[in-house]
């Protein structure tokens, strides 16, 4: 059986649990999370780069912290602004 090169971090384990709960709640029609949200552990290496990618893609993100705290981020669509004259 293969092993993970990097063992799960505290926040990664919690994020996995929250993701599983989100699936169960979505099936029951009671999910508090945005549709298509990514669950991202705050203590992963490369967290900033992953968050930036989701922001560019405008993918909702649930950030999970090692203490169990979480934040849900959603990104607005870009607005075309007329150029300054």
pLDDT tens digits, one per residue of 57-75: 999 999 999 999 999 999 8
Please check whether residue 25 lies inside any domain of the structure. yes
- Confirm whether 42 is domain-assigned: yes
Residue 2 has pLDDT above 60, yes or no: no
Tell which wins on pLDDT, 50 or 8: 50
pLDDT at 51: 94
Domain-embedded: residue 54:
yes
| Domain of residue 57, residue span | 10-73
What is the arrangement of strands in the sheet containing 70-73, beginning at the earlier edge strand?
38-41, 61-64, 70-73
The CB-based long-range contact list for 49-57 (8 Å cut-off, 24+ gap) reads none
13-48 pLDDT tens trace: 999 999 999 999 999 999 899 999 999 999 999 999
In a domain, 18, yes or no: yes
What are φ and ψ of residue 70, in 5° steps? -140, 155
Is residue 46 one of the residues assigned to a domain? yes
Give this prediction's pTM: 0.79
Would 4 be classed as within a structural domain? no
Number of domains in the chain: 1
User: What are the residue ranges of helices labelled H in 2-84?
Assistant: 10-27, 47-57
Is residue 30 in some structural domain? yes
């Amino acid at each position: 059986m293969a092993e993970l090169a990097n063992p799960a971090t505290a926040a990664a384990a919690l994020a996995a649990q929250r993701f599983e709960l989100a699936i169960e709640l979505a099936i029951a029609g009671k999910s508090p999370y945005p549709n298509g949200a990514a669950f991202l552990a705050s203590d992963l290496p490369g967290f900033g780069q992953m968050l930036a990618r989701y922001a560019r893609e405008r993918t909702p993100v649930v950030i999970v912290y090692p203490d169990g705290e979480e934040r849900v981020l959603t990104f607005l669509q870009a607005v075309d602004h007329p150029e300054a004259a």
